[in-house]
Structure 1
Amino acid sequence: MYIAMNRFKVHPDHEEAFKKRWLDREVLLKTVPGFESFQFLQGPRYEDYVLYASHTVWVSYDAFIGWTKSEQFRAAHANAGEGKPLTVGPPVFEGFQVLQNISN
C-alpha cells in the first residue's frame, strides 16, 4: 500500500475558491487501476495560510506511478497553474510506503 499526499498552504483570502476548485472538479481517480481511496483535508489555520492536503491511497507504489503516467492524470492536471494563484508557494508532495495498516 502506498500513500501519496500533497500539502497546500492556501492564502486565507482565497480559501473558499481553493475549496470550490477541489470539491467541484471531476474525479477521475476511480477509473485508475490500483486506486483505493481519496481524502481532501483541511488542517490548521495560521496567520498567513490555511493548510490543506490531498491524501490518496493506492494498492502499491507501482499503481501510483501508473496514475502519474495515465491519461486521467493528464486530464486531472490539465488546468493546473491557470487562473489566480490561490496558494502561498507550490504544493509539497509526500509519498509513504505503508508498513502497517490496522482497520476494522
Structure 2
Amino acid sequence: MNPFIAMNRFHVRRGSEADFEAVWQSRDSHLRDVPGFVSFQLLRGPEHNDFTLYASHTRWASRADFEAWTRSEAFRQAHRGAGGNRDLYLDAPHFEGFEVTQELTA
C-alpha cells in the first residue's frame, strides 16, 4: 500500500491570516490516535490581491486509512463548528488527494 497525502487549499481573505492560523492552532484535530495518521502541516503560501493561499497537508499510511478517518467520530469532532469560520475564506476549501508513487529522503 502506498502512503497517501490529503490536502485542502484555502483562499484566506487578506487581513484574516492571523485569525485563520489561530483557529488551526487552537483546535483539537483528534489526529494523534487515528490509525494510519503520520503527520500534519499547515502551509502558508503566496499572497494575492484579495487572499493568501493556505494548505492543510496530512500524510497517511494509506488511502484506506484516510478514508476511514473521514467516516470516524474523530473526523466529526475535528470539524465540528468549522462552518463558523466561513467569513475567513473567499470560497470553500478545495480538496486534493495524492497517492505517493515515489519518495526520496535524506
| TM-score category (smaller protein) | over 0.9
Q: Which aligned runs of 4 or more in structure 1 are off by greater than 2 angstroms? A: none
Instruction: State the partner residue of 2:7.
Output: 5
Identity of aligned residues (%): 48
- What code does the residue aligned with 1:6 have? N
TM-score, structure 1 as length reference: 0.96
Distance 1:84 1:54, change over 3 A: closer
The residue type paired with residue 100 of structure 2 is V
Q: How many residue pairs end up in the alignment?
A: 104
Distance 1:28 1:9 in 2: 24
> Aligned to 1:72, which of 59, 66, 74?
74
Query: 5+ unaligned residues in a row in structure 2: which ranges?
Result: none
Distance in 2, Cα, partners of 1:46 & 1:8: 12
1:57 aligns with 2:59: yes
Change (3 A) 1:14 1:65: same
Shift of 1:84: 5.4
Taking the aligned partners of 2:7 and 2:101, their CA distance within structure 1 comes to 16
Aligned partners of 2:49 and 2:84: how far apart in 1?
A: 26
TM-score (norm 2): 0.94
Give the whole-Å Cα distance in 1 for the aligned partners of 2:93 and 2:32.
Answer: 23
Q: Identify unmatched segments of 5+ residues in structure 1.
A: none
What letter matches 2:27 in structure 1? R
Question: Aligned partners of 1:49, 1:99: CA distance in 2, in Å?
Answer: 32
